[in-house]
Chains A and B, each alone.
Chain A
Amino acid sequence: MKVLVAIKRVVDPNIKVRVKTDGTGVETANVKMAMNPFCEIAVEQAVRMKEAGTVTEIVVVSIGVPQCQETLRTALAMGADRAILVEVATEVQPLAVAKLLKALVDREQPGLVLMGKQAIDDDCNQSGQMLAGLLGWPQATFISKIEVAGDHADITREVDGGLENITVKMPAVVTADLRLNEPRYVTLPNIMKSKKKPLENIKPDALGVDVTPRLTTLKVEEPPKRGAGVKLADVAELVNKLKNEAKVI
């Protein structure tokens, strides 16, 4: 089975972002970038499935600026076989991401699409569900376990009350949650090897997709800061403050 994994390049999750002074967006110049953590988990899952013999080929796709090639190389170093960059200079919103991925699914005919549950920059949590909808395929979101068995997959999903078990028909779109696996570190020899793996560069036009954003960002700002708190001496003082100042107990 061939799998397609969609990976997004985002601001490194350990970096505290700053709003641009003109309020039009977030400062990304000279900021450390990384593969979206959930996408890393999706790539790791694909690689493990290949190691287990369920998967024969892993194609990774990223949509965005030319620098996404670095992110794709990381995925290739983790064990993906081939990469596709859909080069777009402007912001690409989830509906357009889903449409571009659909066009690639139509071309590549994978048996499974693996994605992250959420991009940690826009926090949208949409693209996988949208792609499944456009394809008319089943979806399994927020998964912490997947076992492919012939024409279906047994899935465990993280839901608000605990876990849910479902079965989906294949092909399907699944989105990875944090506990699906722990991604491996890439090693230097694998980084060297990844440089020889094929990386194709295409434009949205070639896929016949209009990527014009549907939502307009009017402004971005920092949320109101919480007032400075106080350090207390002991538990007695805490109880007193909670009772008499904050009046919450």
Chain B
Amino acid sequence: MAILVIAEHDNQQLKTGVANTIAAAAEIGGDISVLVAGTGCAQVAAAVAKITGVTKVLIADAPQYAESLAENIAALVVSIAKNYTHILAPATGFGKNFMPRVAALLDVAQVSDISAIVSPDTFVRPIYAGNVLSTVQSKDLIKVITVRITGFDAAGESASAAPIENVPAVADSGLSQFKGHELTKSSRPELTAARVIVSGGRGMGSGENFKLLEALADKLGAAVGASRAAVDSGFVPNDYQVGQTGKIVAPELYVAVGISGAIQHLAGMKDSKVIVAINKDAEAPIFQIANYWLVEDLFKAVPELTAAL
């Protein structure tokens, strides 16, 4: 078997999740090539080469890969796809965007968001917001797969570096153009990489009140997340959203504050190791999955907790 992993990066740094995707590839078994497509991304390729399990790094360095536009990345992946039995990318905004396009161009199914590998052609994936696990088998010659990164522990670093080869770029499709980013700046860890997450819901009442959670997060070295209700109410930016349609996280500790526990929210965090919930409603469904819970007003409990740490 020959596996191709598509690396997510910003031309400088590899994103968390790539090492987990490589670990998933290693579980399938076989040679693992990792494609780094970008502009001036040599240092990313060098970092990938040191990840355990990587056989070869392929680098496509061209201006049309600067911003991971789906049309261009998909065309590049398709141009080398026939050498592989499996093509994997993390099931992040990056992978979800272009991988189905690759699958369609290859006339194969995509297996989305796998959380476990049963055999090289059989995978487990959550459906219905994680309320059901489905085991599916693919008989397609090339298996196009996105990987739920919380399902696999990140591969480590190896002592020796894998060789790096150039692959030719495919001409710019000209179909879409990148105009700019409005990225949230934060000094805290990224949600998907954090060991601890403190999340707030509608119960926070305002964006201003999120300062209470930030103070707690600073004590815990935690990332700050949110429910959709908190995002829709404008308390915090969209990239804070945890859930079925936001980010999927599985930290060691998840503290849910003023969040009721709708299935769509649970879908994004119920695989966390330890869940703490603070809610003033003793009937809140979040308590059904929490390891520890406090039925208290958050405006009392959160400052107390911050002070006690």
User: Which of A's residues lie within 8 Å of B, judged by CB?
Assistant: 11, 13, 16-17, 19, 26, 93-95, 98, 117-118, 120-134, 137-142, 144, 154, 158-169, 172, 177-179, 214-223, 226-227, 229-232, 234-236, 238-239, 241-242, 246, 248-249
Contact = CB atoms under 8 A, between A and B. Distances in A.
B129 interface: yes
Contact of A222 (B96, B122, B131, B247): B131
Smallest CB-CB A-B distances: 3 pairs: A130-B104, A129-B100, A138-B175
Given A118-B245, A172-B175, A216-B136, 14 more contacts: A120-B128, A130-B104, A138-B175, A162-B238, A163-B182, A169-B175, A178-B228, A215-B109, A220-B127, A221-B132, A227-B291, A229-B275, A236-B308, A249-B196
A171 to B, nearest CB: 10
Contacts of A235: 294, 296, 301, 304-305, 308
Dominant SS at the B interface?
mixed
Interface string B272-299: 0111100000000001011111111000
Among A159, A160, A230, A234, max chain B CB count under 10 A is at A160
Interface residues of B, number: 88
A236 B182 CA distance: 40
A165 B294 contact: no
A12 to B, nearest CB: 11
Given A158-B238, A216-B136, A217-B135, A248 B100 contact: no
Given A94-B109, A166-B176, A232-B293, A141 B70 contact: yes
Contacts of A177: 245
B71 A139 contact: yes
A166 B69 contact: yes
B253 interface: yes
